[in-house]
């Protein structure tokens, strides 16, 4: 049988800083002067600006992606209408730190060994001098500015910030927590909460991030500029004011599609990727009457953060710079809301890996939808090419410029997501293939089975499909980097022992 794939290939720790980024650190703005090599160059006048918008834990519940019929995201949707939206875009890791590290360095987690919520990439000896996307732009005359969460946690650490960006905005802190939690989950982690808070939109930390970005755009950034704006929602705690909950009435709520006993045909190892986490299982959400409130809060906070994206886009339009500014909007990974029996991320299934990815501006086709597999890893080389810069060396992603010109352009690579050493998902246009560290596998036909309810890996007629996807498993797959911590899983194929955060996994202790 000749193979014809549908791709056309020819925290337990959540540090507060990890949620709100630099917002809670004070009111100052850190700036440093341009180095001589970064001084104004006549060529800079022809280079586009970049507005780089990151959203935390946003899955495909966005209007232009159709992940939920009740998603209300008019501002992200209008950005998509004036640009190209990638409908099959995926993260490199379903966890904040490794995903963001990969995007900003252009290297896979399997290359750096950054799989957990720690370490910071520059503490890994081999990558202390890695040139990140903003540093690369700095070297080519761009003024780089950051506000909100772009890297994970408190990264970059305070002593290293001057070398990472020219300027890091730190707005007045917003009201990040109510006096008492609304929801008490099994381990009662302080971030596992959702409900109406604060009373006013302008008091939310994400509004403060938008305030700072809007003011900075209004003041006039030196061109060409790279402005990175990172929003925390809909990452837990899912807090928004009452108006956003009213936009999604409980009585009208459409719940995510669910198959009882969904996991009967998947390997036990699939559980190991999210063995002990603060995010509650679906069984707990149901028995405690919290599934509907969580779904409602996720929709509400997504709509709120969309409104803040809209404020930044409006400021760009008012500045007169929109026609010479590339806008790219992305999320670091998806989020489960009951699918596969869990809430949260940390899986290799579609709900956890699929992300919004939208480009608009110079060099980008308007009103286009691209179904080719895309990776967050591709942003670095794509932006370099769109800006007319030399191709950065050592990139493991591939420029999306061909697809930004023609959404039907052939793409020769799938999207690859890895979560800890040995665990990988390969996503083509038609299929998702998963291989775990113990050799167990899954295969889903996303065209006929978008919810991934039927694992077809053992079907004789699909052996060629499995083989074709299997060949994309990363050849370099290093162990966790020194200093790795939180959500780190290792596996010894000789002893068949899996270790979760330093403790052996005992399957009988599995939490359904």
With a CB cutoff of 8 Å and minimum separation 6, the contacts of 159 are none
Phi, psi of 374 (to 5 degrees): -135, 155
Residues assigned a catalytic role: 96, 152
Q: Which residues pair with 415 in a beta bridge?
A: 427
Q: How far apart are CA 179 and CA 430, in angstroms?
A: 48
Q: How far apart are CA 355 and CA 62, in angstroms?
A: 10
Six-digit token string for 243:
């108006």
| CA dist 52 → 5, 139, 228 (Å) | 33, 18, 5
Note the helical H segments in 126-199: 133-139
Q: How far apart are CA 200 and CA 215, in angstroms?
A: 20
Q: Which residues pair with 89 in a beta bridge?
A: 374
Q: How far apart are CA 488 and CA 482, in angstroms?
A: 12
Q: How far apart are CA 210 and CA 276, in angstroms?
A: 34
Angle at CA of residue 64, ends 58 and 70, nearest 5°: 75
CB atoms near residue 492 (< 10 Å): 10
Q: Which residue's entry shows tokens 């009585």?
A: 251
Phi, psi of 476 (to 5 degrees): -95, 120
């Amino acid at each position: 049988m000749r193979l014809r794939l549908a791709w056309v290939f020819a925290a337990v720790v959540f540090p507060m800083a990890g949620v709100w980024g630099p917002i809670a650190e004070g009111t100052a703005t850190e700036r440093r002067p341009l180095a001589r090599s970064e001084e104004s160059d006549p060529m800079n006048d022809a280079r586009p600006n970049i507005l780089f918008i990151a959203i935390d834990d946003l899955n495909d519940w966005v209007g232009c992606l159709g992940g939920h019929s009740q998603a209300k995201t008019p501002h992200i949707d209008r950005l998509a209408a004036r640009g190209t939206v990638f409908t099959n875009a995926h993260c490199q890791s379903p966890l904040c730190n490794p995903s963001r590290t990969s995007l900003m360095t252009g290297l896979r987690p399997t290359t750096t060994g950054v799989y957990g919520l720690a370490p910071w990439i520059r503490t890994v000896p081999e990558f202390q001098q890695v040139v990140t996307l903003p540093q690369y732009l700095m070297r080519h005359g761009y003024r780089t500015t950051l506000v909100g969460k772009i890297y994970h946690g408190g990264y970059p650490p305070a002593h290293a910030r001057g070398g990472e960006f020219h300027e890091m905005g730190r707005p007045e802190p917003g009201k990040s927590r109510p006096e008492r939690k609304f929801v008490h989950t099994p381990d009662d982690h302080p971030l596992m909460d959702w409900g109406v808070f604060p009373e006013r939109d302008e008091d939310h930390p994400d509004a403060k991030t938008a305030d700072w970005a809007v003011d900075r755009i209004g003041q006039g950034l030196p061109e060409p500029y790279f402005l990175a704006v990172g929003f925390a929602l809909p990452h837990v705690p899912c807090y928004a004011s009452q108006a956003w909950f009213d936009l999604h009435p409980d009585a009208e709520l459409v719940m995510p599609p669910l198959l009882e006993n969904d996991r009967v045909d998947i390997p036990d190892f699939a559980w190991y990727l999210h063995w002990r986490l603060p995010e509650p299982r679906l069984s707990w959400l149901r028995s405690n009457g919290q599934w509907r409130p969580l779904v409602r809060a996720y929709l509400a906070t997504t709509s709120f953060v969309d409104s803040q994206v809209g404020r930044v886009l409006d400021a760009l339009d008012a500045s007169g710079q929109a026609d010479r500014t590339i806008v790219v909007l992305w999320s670091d990974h998806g989020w489960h809301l009951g699918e596969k029996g869990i809430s949260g991320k940390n899986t290799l299934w579609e709900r956890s890996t699929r992300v919004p990815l939208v480009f608009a501006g110079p060099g980008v086709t308007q009103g286009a939808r691209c179904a080719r597999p895309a990776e967050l890893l591709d942003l670095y080389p794509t932006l370099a090419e769109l800006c007319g810069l030399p191709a950065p060396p050592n990139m493991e992603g591939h420029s999306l410029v061909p697809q930004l010109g023609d959404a039907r352009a052939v793409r020769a690579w799938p999207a690859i997501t890895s979560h800890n050493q040995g665990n990988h998902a390969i996503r083509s246009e038609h299929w998702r293939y998963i291989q775990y560290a113990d050799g167990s596998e899954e295969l889903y036909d996303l065209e006929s089975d978008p919810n991934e309810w039927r694992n077809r890996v053992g079907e004789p007629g699909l052996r060629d499909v499995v083989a074709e996807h299997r060949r994309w498993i990363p050849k370099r797959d290093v162990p966790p980097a020194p200093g790795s911590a939180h959500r780190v899983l290792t596996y010894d194929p000789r002893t068949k022992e899996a270790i979760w955060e330093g403790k052996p996994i005992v399957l009988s202790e599995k939490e359904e």
